[in-house]
Structure 1
Amino acid sequence: MVGIILASHGDFATGILQSGTMIFGEQQNVKAVTLHPGDSPDSLKDRMKEAIATFENSEEVLFLVDLWGGTPFNQANGLCLENKDKWTVVSGLNLPMLIEAYTSRLSMNSAEEIAAAIIEPAQEGINTTSAKFQSKDKHTKSSAKTIPAGTVVGNGKLNIVLARVDSRLLHGQVATAWTQATSPNRIIVVSDSVAKDDLRKKLIEQAAPPGVKANVIPIKKLIEISKDPRFGNTKALLLFENPQDVLQAMEGGVEITSLNIGSMAHSVGKVMVNKVLSMNADDVAVFEKLKQNNVKFDVRKVPNDSNSNMDELLKKAKDELAEQNK
C-alpha cells in the first residue's frame, strides 16, 4: 500500500489527519509532519524520513503538502528527486484530496497514479453557497424534456447501491467515504418529516459531494420511484433516519436486501448498545422483523470499520431494556 505523508506549516497536517480519520476510519502508513517556527528545513526533512521509515513499504510514497514552493514542499520534493518515479508530491492539501487518496490507494499501487486521481476531486471540493459565485453551468436546471411515463431506461429498475440508517442523514462520512465506496449518482434522503422542512432540505442538497445529486423525498415517493422504469439508470444511496421508515418502504414494495446501520441517536427510553447506536423496544422489534424479511445487516460507521454482530447488539438492547424496566 502506498504510504502517505501529510506535511504543512503549523498543525494543519495533524488536524486534517484527524479529520480524515473521523470520516474514513483509521489508516495505516499515513503520517503527519509539521513545520513550526524555529524548525530548520533539515530537521523537517529528517522527520519526514523518520515517518517514512515506519511504513510497511517505503517504495511508493505520496507527499500531500499545503503550499507549492513552501518549506514542506521543498523538502518533500528533494526526497522525491532522490526516489524518481516512486515518490510524488501534490500541493494544495484539502480534505476531499485526502479522502480521494485514501480511496484510490485501495486499488492503485503507485504514488503517481494516486496523484493523478486526486487533483480533480480536490478542485471540485472548492465551492460556495453564495449564488453570486456559483457556476452557472453547474446549477442551471436541465432543459431536457421529461421522459414520458412508462419509458424503460436501462434495466428499468432502481439500483440501490447502499441503504443506510443514520439519524444524522447526510454528513461527512456519507458524503465522502460511503459515496466513494459505493459510487452512487444520486443520494436520496427518505424522510416524511425532513421532506416537509424546506431549510433542512436545502442544507442536505448543498451537502452533496461533487458530481452527485441529493434529493429529499417522503417514503411514499420512494415507493413510487422504485416501481418507475424511468429510474433504471439511477444508482441510489438511500438514507433513512430510523429502521421504522425502512420497514415502511419495504412494505410498500421497495426491495432492500442489505441495510447499513450507521448511527442512531440516543433519546429518552433508549439504551446505548455501542458508541453510536441506541435502541428502544420498537427499534429492536423492527430490526427483528427486517431480519425475518431476509435483510442482511452491515453495522459500520465507515467502510474501513469491521462489521459488528447485529444479533449481539439486539441481545444487548433487550437485556438492558429489561433491566431498565425492572
Structure 2
Amino acid sequence: MAIVDVRIDDRLIHGQVCGFWIPHFSVERIAIVDDVIVHDEARKTALKFGCPGKVKLSVFAPEAAADKFIRKIDEGIRVMILCNRPKPILQMVEAGYKVDSITVGNMSTKDGAKQIKKTVFVSEEEKEDFKKLAQHGVKIYSQMVPNEQREEITNDFK
C-alpha cells in the first residue's frame, strides 16, 4: 500500500477531494479513519455515494486502521487517509503507525476555535492533538488544493 497523503478535511468526501486530490495522487482507495463514522451505517452509505466510481472507500476505527496500515494489507494500492480532525491520526500514531506528515485542508469554525489559516479553525483539544503529533515528529502542512503552495504549520502547535 502506498499512502499518498494523510489529510484532514472536516468535509471528508467533497468537491476538492474528488476533483483535485484524487486525480493529483491517482488515489485508488480512500480510507476514512474515525471512531464515530465507523459505527454510523447511514453516514458510511452517504460517503460511499459521494466517492468517485473508480475509487474504493473504507472506513476504519483508528486502532484497526493502524493495524491494517502497519501490516500493509493493501500493498500496491494508492491510498489517501482522510480524517475530519487530528484525534484519529494521533490515535493511529499512538497505536504504532508512523505518520510522516499531515495535510490540513478545511477545519470549519466551531465554538472556542481559533483561526490559524483562512479555512483552518482549531479548538483547544485539536491544538493539543496537533501538538502531540508534532512531538511524535509528524510535520503538519496547510494546503487546500494541489496547485496552492503547501505551507508548514507545525510550529503553530509547539
Q: TM-score, normalised by structure 2?
A: 0.90
| Aligned residue number for residue 25 of structure 2 | 182
How many Å separate the matches in 1 of 2:134 and 2:157? 11
By how many angstroms is 1:292 displaced?
A: 2.0
CA–CA distance in structure 2, aligned partners of residues 286 and 219 of structure 1: 14
**Mapping for residues 131-146 of structure 1, pairs under 5 Å:** none
Greater percentage in strand: 2
Which of 45, 59, 63 does residue 220 from structure 1 map onto? Answer: 63
1:168 paired to 2:34: no
Identity %: 28
Match of 1:239 among 76, 82, 102: 82
- Closer/same/farther in 2, CA of residues 302 and 253 from structure 1, 3 Å limit: same
In the alignment of these two chains, the number of paired residues is: 158
SS in 1 for 2:58: strand
Unaligned runs of 5+ in 2: none
Shift of 1:208: 1.4
The reply to whether residue 206 of structure 1 matches residue 55 of structure 2 is no
Deviation at 1:166, TM superposition (A): 1.0
| Maintained 8 Å contact 2:106/2:120 | yes
Residue 216 of structure 1: SS of its match in structure 2?
strand
Question: 1:311, CA displacement in angstroms?
Answer: 4.7
1:312 Cα shift? 6.3
Q: Within 2, Cα distance between the matches of 1:257 and 1:304?
A: 21
In the alignment, is the contact (CA less than 8 A) between 1:167 and 1:240 conserved in 2? yes
Cα distance change of structure 1 residues 253 and 209 upon mapping to structure 2, 3 Å threshold? same
TM-score by length of 1: 0.46
Give unpaired runs (5+ residues) of structure 1: 1-157, 316-326
Give the AA of the match of 1:195: V
Q: 1: distance between equivalents of 2:7 and 2:154?
A: 18
Cα distance change on mapping 1:213 and 1:270 into 2, 3 Å: same
Q: 1:211 to 1:238 in 2, by over 3 A?
A: same
Alignment partners' CA distance in 2, 1:167 and 1:215: 17
2:91 to 248, 254, 259: 248
CA offsets 1:25-73 (integer angstroms, 9 cap, x no match): xxxxxxxxxxxxxxxxxxxxxxxxxxxxxxxxxxxxxxxxxxxxxxxxx
How do 1:54-73 residues align onto structure 2 when only pairs under 5 Å count? none
Instruction: Please state how far the C-alpha of 1:301 moved relative to its aligned partner.
Output: 0.8
User: Greater relative contact order: 1 or 2 (C-alpha under 8 angstroms, separation 6 or more)?
Assistant: 2
Q: CA deviation at 1:221?
A: 1.9
- For the residues of structure 1 that align with 2:142 and 2:68, how far apart are their CA atoms? 26
* Partner SS, residue 227 of structure 1: helix
Q: Secondary structure, in 3 states, of the residue corresponding to 1:169?
A: coil
Asked if residue 288 in structure 1 is aligned to residue 131 in structure 2, the reply is: yes
For the 8 Å contact 2:104–2:142, the answer to whether it is kept is: yes
- Deviations 1:101-133 (CA, angstroms, capped at 9, x unpaired): xxxxxxxxxxxxxxxxxxxxxxxxxxxxxxxxx
Work out the CA distance in 2 between the residues paired with 1:229 and 1:300.
27
**Separation in 1 of the partners of 2:99 and 2:87?**
13
Instruction: Say whether the 8 Å CA contact 1:176–1:209 is kept in structure 2.
Output: no
2:141 is aligned with what amino acid? D
The answer to whether the Cα contact below 8 Å between 2:33 and 2:59 also exists between their aligned partners in 1 is: yes
Structure 1 residue runs of 4 or more that deviate by more than 3 Å after TM superposition: 311-315
Kindly indicate whether the alpha-carbon contact (under 8 Å) linking 2:29 and 2:56 is maintained by their aligned counterparts in 1: yes
Q: Residue type of the partner of 2:88? A: D
Offset at residue 232 of structure 1 (A): 1.4
Which one of 101, 113, 131 corresponds to residue 258 of structure 1?
Answer: 101
2-side partners of 1:241 and 1:273: how far apart?
16
AA in 2 matched with 1:227: I
SS of 1:239 mapped into structure 2: strand
In the alignment, is residue 279 of structure 1 matched against residue 122 of structure 2? yes
Change (3 A) 1:309 1:201: same
